[in-house]
Amino acid sequence: MRPIVLVTDSNCDLPAELIDRYGIRVVSSLLNIGGQSYRDGVDISRAEFYARLPTLNPSPTTAAPASGVFDELYRACGDADIISIHIASKLSGFFNAARLGAEASGARVTLIDSEQLSMGFGWQVLAAAEAISAQKSVAEVIDSITHTRQRVKVYAALNTLEYLRRSGRANALVARLGDFLHIKPLVELVGGEVKLMGRQRTFSKALDKLIETVQALGPLERLAILHAHNPEEAHTLVERLAPQSTQAPLVTEIAAVIGTHVGPGAVGVAAVKHA
């Protein structure tokens, strides 16, 4: 059986320790700040990015890498089978860039649209990595990814709508909320689209509603607490939700590319329900 190489992108938010343990190949998103391009997590750290974000004018923009980056990476994998899983195609050009790179390379690439972001697809990447480590076939690895994706729930409480408004990534959501940009929305990512779940007048009430929503899912197989430069509230979520998960929660600061659109202060949860 040919070896299987797993490829993903920096928006999956898997901790470096897991990336290294399973030998996952990661392609970085691009951040454009003040006319200069940075590779997410390579040329600029998340701590540095979030420290600078509130003062950046104009706001940073984001981009997927050129298809040639994938072409080169896939060719370097030699005779291996490649599973390449990426951030939701409705939110980013990553999937299309990977598709063009795969076509140019002639490699055996199976492309997968995670339909998620952050650990919503990070859990799918980890499921694939574990299946590959267990010497499963390509078909079995894909089944593992699909089975995980069907059980993933991603919710977030935003501290502001301002960054979504600037980015234009959720115009329908912002328009629906009209002029009430001071409220704290609760959102869910479904099929690669941002859906409004509710709205609260204060961030503490938004967190309470977020916790209530996750608790309603019942026992969890896996749980990730996500935050955009807000470790204090992330700790609060860990304390209140940890008993619900079979495994200890994973805490991660979301990728700068995602943070560009949700703004500092946002917190979220990526949960995998039990089968």
The angle formed by the CA atoms of residues 88, 130 and 258, to the nearest 5 degrees, is: 25
Residue 186 has pLDDT above 60, yes or no: yes
| Domain-located, residue 46 | no
Sign of the dihedral through C-alpha 250, 259, 8, 112: positive
Q: What percent of the chain has pLDDT over 90?
A: 73
Same domain assignment for residues 18 and 72:
yes
**What is the domain count for the chain?**
2
Q: What is the pLDDT of residue 275?
A: 85
- Does any domain span residue 41? no
Mapped onto helix, strand or coil, the DSSP state of residue 149 is helix
98 DSSP 8-state letter: H
Same domain, 121 and 175: no
Q: Which amino acid is at 204?
A: S
CATH number of the domain within which 73 lies: 3.40.50.10170
Q: What is the mean pLDDT of the chain?
A: 91
Residues 163 and 257 both lie in one domain: yes
Q: Is residue 231 in some structural domain?
A: yes
Q: Is the dihedral of CA 88, 28, 255, 219 positive or negative?
A: positive
Residue 178 covered by a domain: yes
Q: Given 149, 181, 213, which residue is the final one in a domain?
A: 149
Of 114, 134, 149, the domain-final residue: 149
Average pLDDT over residues 76-85: 97
Per-residue pLDDT at 164 exceeds 80: no
Torsion of CA 193, 141, 26, 28, to 10 degrees: -20
Range with lowest mean pLDDT among 46-50, 83-87, 115-119, 151-155: 46-50
- Strand-pairing partners, residue 26, are 8
pLDDT at 54: 87
Whether residue 23 has pLDDT greater than 70: yes
Q: Which amino acid is at 193?
A: E
Domain membership of residue 88 as a residue range: 4-29+64-149
Considering Cα of 113, then 118, then 124, then 130, what sign does the dihedral take?
Answer: positive
Average the pLDDT over 161-168 and give the result.
70
| Residues 115 and 225 reside in one and the same domain | no
Cα-Cα end-to-end distance for the chain? 29
Q: Are residues 18 and 144 in the same domain?
A: yes
Q: Is there a contact between 62 and 32 (Cβ–Cβ < 8 Å)?
A: yes
- Classify residue 209: in a domain, yes or no: yes
Residues 126 and 226 in one domain: no
Residues 134 and 15 in one domain: yes
Contact by Cβ (8 Å): 36, 173: no
Percent of the chain, pLDDT > 70?
93
Residue 242 and residue 220 share a domain: yes
174 domain residue, yes or no: yes
- Checking if the pLDDT of 176 tops 70, the result is no
19 lies in the same domain as 130: yes
- Calculate the alpha carbon distances from 109 to 31, 236, 243 in Å: 26, 41, 39
Point out the domain boundary residue: 126, 149, 172: 149
pLDDT at site 170? 55
The predicted pLDDT at position 179 comes to 47
User: Mean of the pLDDT values across residues 225-247?
Assistant: 95
The CA angle 192-81-135, to the nearest 5 degrees, is: 95
Domain of residue 232, CATH code: 3.30.1180.10
Summarize the confidence of residues 231-239 as an average pLDDT.
Answer: 95
Specify the pLDDT at position 167. 61
Same domain, 176 and 145: no
Task: Average the pLDDT over 251-270 and give the result.
Answer: 91
13-28: average pLDDT: 97
Strand partners, 86: 113
pLDDT for 177 equals 55
pLDDT digits (tens, 9 = 90+) for 199-213: 888 899 999 999 999
Q: Is residue 55 part of a domain?
A: no
Rounded CA gap, 24 and 4, in Å? Answer: 10
Quick one: 159 and 249 in the same domain? Answer: yes
Tell me: the pLDDT tens digits for 87-102?
Answer: 999 989 999 999 999 9
Q: How confident is the model at residue 1 (pLDDT cuts 50, 70, 90)?
A: confident
Q: Are residues 255 and 192 in the same domain?
A: yes
Instruction: Specify if 190 maps to a domain.
Output: yes
What pLDDT is recorded for position 59? 83
